[in-house]
Amino acid sequence: MTAVMPPPASACPACSAAPAAEALAAAQEPSEAHIILSLPTIHCAACMSAVESALMKSDTVRSARVNLTMKRVSIEADPDLTAADVIPLVEAAGYEAHELDSTALSATQTDRAGRELLMRLAVAGFASMNVMLLSVAVWSGAEGPTRDMFHWISAAIVLPSVAFAAQPFFKNAWTALKAGHLNMDVPISLAILLALVTSLWETSLSGEHAYFDAAIALTFFLLTGRYLDHRTRSVARSAAEELAALEVPRAWRVTEDGEEQVNVAELQVGDLLRVRPGGRMPVDGEISEGTSELDRSLLTGETLPVFAEPGLSVSAGEVNLTGPLTIRATAVGRDTSLHRMADLVSIAESGRSRYTSLADKAAKLYAPGVHILSALAFIGWYLYSGDLRVALNIAAAVLIITCPCALGLAVPAVTTAASGRLFKRGLLIKDATALERLAQIDTVVFDKTGTLTAGTPEVSNIDDFTRRDLEITLALASGSSHPLSQSLTAAIQGAGISAAEVTDIQEVPGHGTQGRWNGQLVRLGRAAWVDGPSLALTSTCLRVGDGPVQAFTFTDRLRDGAEEAVRALQEGGHKVILMSGDTTPAVEALANRLGIEQWLAEALPQDKAARIQALTDQGAKVLMVGDGLNDTAALTAAHASISPASALDAARVASDIVLLGGELDPIPEAITTAQKATRRIRENFTIATWYNIIAVPLAIAGLCSPLIAALAMSSSSLTVSLNALRLR
């Protein structure tokens, strides 16, 4: 067995937050400026590279990282640099930039952008339907004035529709050209404009063919993809908002004059803070006074409370459960554990956003090639025939016959079929490239509590106790909100046992519950508190008077299908690893039970993310399966990720796939389906490629009229769609 131990604290720069914060406080002067700009017009990997390159050309900028998902750039620069100084650098590269404020990424703004895209999509769709009806009339044999009338009506519909609906493509293309570089919107805009110009030329000369329907249909399909991409990114942005919502805005600071409520931004390292029961830790620190129990599920994912006493380190975001605590701040602001977790997610999202779908990779070569061929055909035929009209018609025929409809359908048709199949098995695909990445997986990392297990403790030895002891236990457990006490209460009541008459019941913060039964002191709680031996297993102890200490032991029930999923993955040649924030004995026991050889215990969020990154650096393609907020950074950093529907919002948002049911056994099937889907996508690309190899020379040679080109294009799209349906 190989036990993978957590990396030492010194190995991770993020783990040295406290010393860094103390040094910063001592200096009393920032060593660098941290500037965040909103970039509303970026939309691809080329945009990211262009912005980062433009910023790094400045000697005053030390680093620049663009997050495409959140459409922002994070800049580390010289202390005296301001947002007003760097915004012109971004604008010179051809992109809009604004200093980020809290409302820039609000739901209202997100919804407004979505509504605008949806409105343009609706206009393009309505116009496309009407123009298609007119085109059918022309193709059916309309001639002379009747044909010309239909063409002019089509022009009247399409021109204003394209002018409104295709604005996102035109604006981005124009901005890129002004900055002196190309992006994917440039060839898209060229295709739309050339189709319109050619159609107007043909119509003005009473020609037989016009391509208004192609121009508006292309706009409609491209807007559909842009809107779906927007919806995906707007959901992804809420992962950071979910983390930010957990930050405590105000805290109670202890001074010589008493307690005062202050803004968390005013706190400094060394301040004493009072955290009342039920309150969340505002900063990282160390307990200086008081005993209690802490809910650390935010950072570790484990639901069982931890005993808190003076000297124990606490982290921002943890919840104080039972007694008041006084803590001394060791890290504040951006150096707290909660803020570092948000940074981990943001960095991972920046990396994830660089993934490019197979369709996008093909389009980078395909689209420029199409337009080069069309331009060469126009020049060649114009030089050969001297007839501008003939040259335009053949160039248009090349554009139509090479219309990327087949290429555009190659991925959506397959992903739709695959997503439908997986949805029936309880898996919801969220990300456009998730299937392609899932097909490459060779390593699967599971979280423990809430993922492989149900996350709720269950009493395992209730039959070892007498009815009297169970009656006393029920009386004591009923007065506590501790998860183990709640589990005991449910189990004993389920056995039909009533509570004994126990008086003077009180809960001792951080220890347990005590009372009096028949004049004897009875206690239920930690082993050390009742003078019992400590156990490796999760347990709580009962002692009646001076009698022997008896321990209730608990186990965490496996999630349905967990054993089957792990076995199927291992038989399929995948490496399976268990990572958890739980104690070493608990993680080791589960790993042995499931036959998992590699495991990591007592892991914090940065430990999980670091382990995922280490595996990635070794060449592994990692699938992370987790449900907690502490898994968010790891989920985002992994090559692909899955979260149960019961997971926290931030975890579900960060993952690529949501497991709708309660069973894990669909996961191996999802990988198999993704591999089949990727094969179908490659087959579709092959079909589209051979179609163009055959059709393009015919169009360039002038042997295909625009009508024949349109029919050939439709047949290639139909072939691609039928091939995708084979996946079902």
Spatial separation of the C-alpha atoms in residues 624 and 445, rounded to whole Å: 5
Spatial CB neighbours of 317, under 8 Å, sequence gap ≥ 6 = 246, 247, 280, 281, 298, 299, 337, 338, 341
Residue 29 CB coordination number (10 Å) = 7
Helices of type H across 93-184 = 107-139, 144-165, 167-178
- The answer to whether residue 447 is catalytic is yes
The residue whose two tokens read 């038989």 is 571
For the whole model, what pTM was predicted? 0.55
pLDDT tops 70 at residue 504: yes
Kindly state the percentage of the chain with pLDDT values over 70: 75
Strand partners for 539: 553
pLDDT band at 20 (very low <50, low <70, confident <90, very high): very low
**Token pair recorded at residue 591:** 């790993």
pLDDT tops 90 at residue 164: yes
Q: What are phi and psi of 721, to 5 degrees?
A: -65, -40
Marked catalytic residue, from 148, 185, 271, 447: 447
- Average the pLDDT over 437-456 and give the result: 85
The pLDDT tens digits of the residues spanning 343-402 come to 655 554 454 444 445 555 665 566 567 667 878 888 998 898 888 777 877 776 776 676
What single DSSP character describes residue 280? B
Residue 28 CB coordination number (10 Å) = 6
- SS3 label, residue 427: strand
pLDDT band at 288 (very low <50, low <70, confident <90, very high): very high
pLDDT tops 50 at residue 68: yes
Spatial separation of the C-alpha atoms in residues 434 and 667, rounded to whole Å: 13
- Average the pLDDT over 121-132 and give the result: 88
State the pLDDT at residue 231. 57
State the pLDDT at residue 248. 75
Spatial separation of the C-alpha atoms in residues 367 and 93, rounded to whole Å: 23
pLDDT tops 70 at residue 650: no
Specify the pairing of strand 98-99 against strand 306-308: unpaired
Give 565-590 as a DSSP string. HHHHHHHTT-EEEEE-SS-HHHHHHH
State the pLDDT at residue 230. 61
pLDDT tops 80 at residue 185: no
Amino acid at 510: G
Specify the pairing of strand 453-459 against strand 319-320: unpaired
Question: Residue 308 to residues 314, 323, 511, 636: CA-CA distances in angstroms?
Answer: 9, 9, 10, 31
Question: Residue 724 to residues 412, 417, 718: CA-CA distances in angstroms?
Answer: 9, 7, 10
pLDDT tops 60 at residue 166: yes
pLDDT band at 588 (very low <50, low <70, confident <90, very high): confident
**Token pair recorded at residue 380:** 């060649």
Q: CB of 253 within 8 A of CB of 273?
A: yes
Closest by Cα among 180, 91, 66, 727 to 421: 727
Q: CB of 34 within 8 A of CB of 74?
A: yes
- Average the pLDDT over 56-81 and give the result: 81
**Token pair recorded at residue 153:** 């009506």
pLDDT tops 60 at residue 710: no
- Average the pLDDT over 132-139 and give the result: 76
The residue whose two tokens read 């979280």 is 447
Strand partners for 525: 512, 541
The pLDDT tens digits of the residues spanning 205-263 come to 887 777 788 778 778 877 776 675 565 444 434 444 555 556 677 889 998 888 888 88
Spatial separation of the C-alpha atoms in residues 428 and 660, rounded to whole Å: 7
**Token pair recorded at residue 388:** 């501008």
The pLDDT tens digits of the residues spanning 90-115 come to 888 888 787 654 433 444 455 567 78
State the pLDDT at residue 101. 45
- Average the pLDDT over 639-647 and give the result: 80
Tell whether the torsion through CA atoms of 466, 469, 475 and 477 is positive or negative. Answer: negative
Helices of type H across 600-641 = 605-617, 632-637
State the pLDDT at residue 7. 40
Strand partners for 325: 275
Give 246-259 as a DSSP string. TS-SEEEEEETTEE
State the pLDDT at residue 623. 93
pLDDT band at 517 (very low <50, low <70, confident <90, very high): very high
- Average the pLDDT over 106-135 and give the result: 77
pLDDT tops 50 at residue 506: yes
The pLDDT tens digits of the residues spanning 531-571 come to 877 665 678 899 998 888 898 988 777 888 888 999 999 99
What single DSSP character describes residue 345? H
**Token pair recorded at residue 60:** 């005053």
State the pLDDT at residue 569. 93
pLDDT tops 80 at residue 303: no
**Contacts of 639-645 spanning 24+ positions with Cβ under 8 A:** 639/437, 639/440, 639/441, 640/434, 640/437, 640/438, 640/440, 640/441, 642/427, 642/667, 642/670, 644/450, 644/451
- Average the pLDDT over 647-671 and give the result: 78
Q: CB of 432 within 8 A of CB of 243?
A: no
- Average the pLDDT over 156-174 and give the result: 90
Rg (alpha carbons) of the chain, rounded to whole number? 32
- SS3 label, residue 521: strand
Spatial separation of the C-alpha atoms in residues 219 and 128, rounded to whole Å: 9
pLDDT band at 199 (very low <50, low <70, confident <90, very high): confident
More confident residue, 626 or 719: 626
Closest by Cα among 639, 587, 642 to 3: 587
Q: CB of 583 within 8 A of CB of 602?
A: yes
More confident residue, 419 or 675: 675
State the pLDDT at residue 515. 92
pLDDT band at 403 (very low <50, low <70, confident <90, very high): low
State the pLDDT at residue 523. 92
- Which of 29-38, 51-60, 307-316, 453-462 has the lowest average pLDDT? 29-38
Residue burial 294-318, b: 16+ Cβ < 10 Å; e: rest: bbbbbbbbbbbbbbbeeebebbbbb
pLDDT tops 60 at residue 163: yes
Strand partners for 514: 506, 523
State the pLDDT at residue 705. 57
Strand partners for 507: 513
pLDDT tops 70 at residue 14: no
Spatial separation of the C-alpha atoms in residues 172 and 195, rounded to whole Å: 19
**Mean confidence (pLDDT) of the chain:** 77
State the pLDDT at residue 35. 81
- Which of 279-288, 442-451, 510-519, 622-631 has the lowest average pLDDT? 622-631
What single DSSP character describes residue 626? -
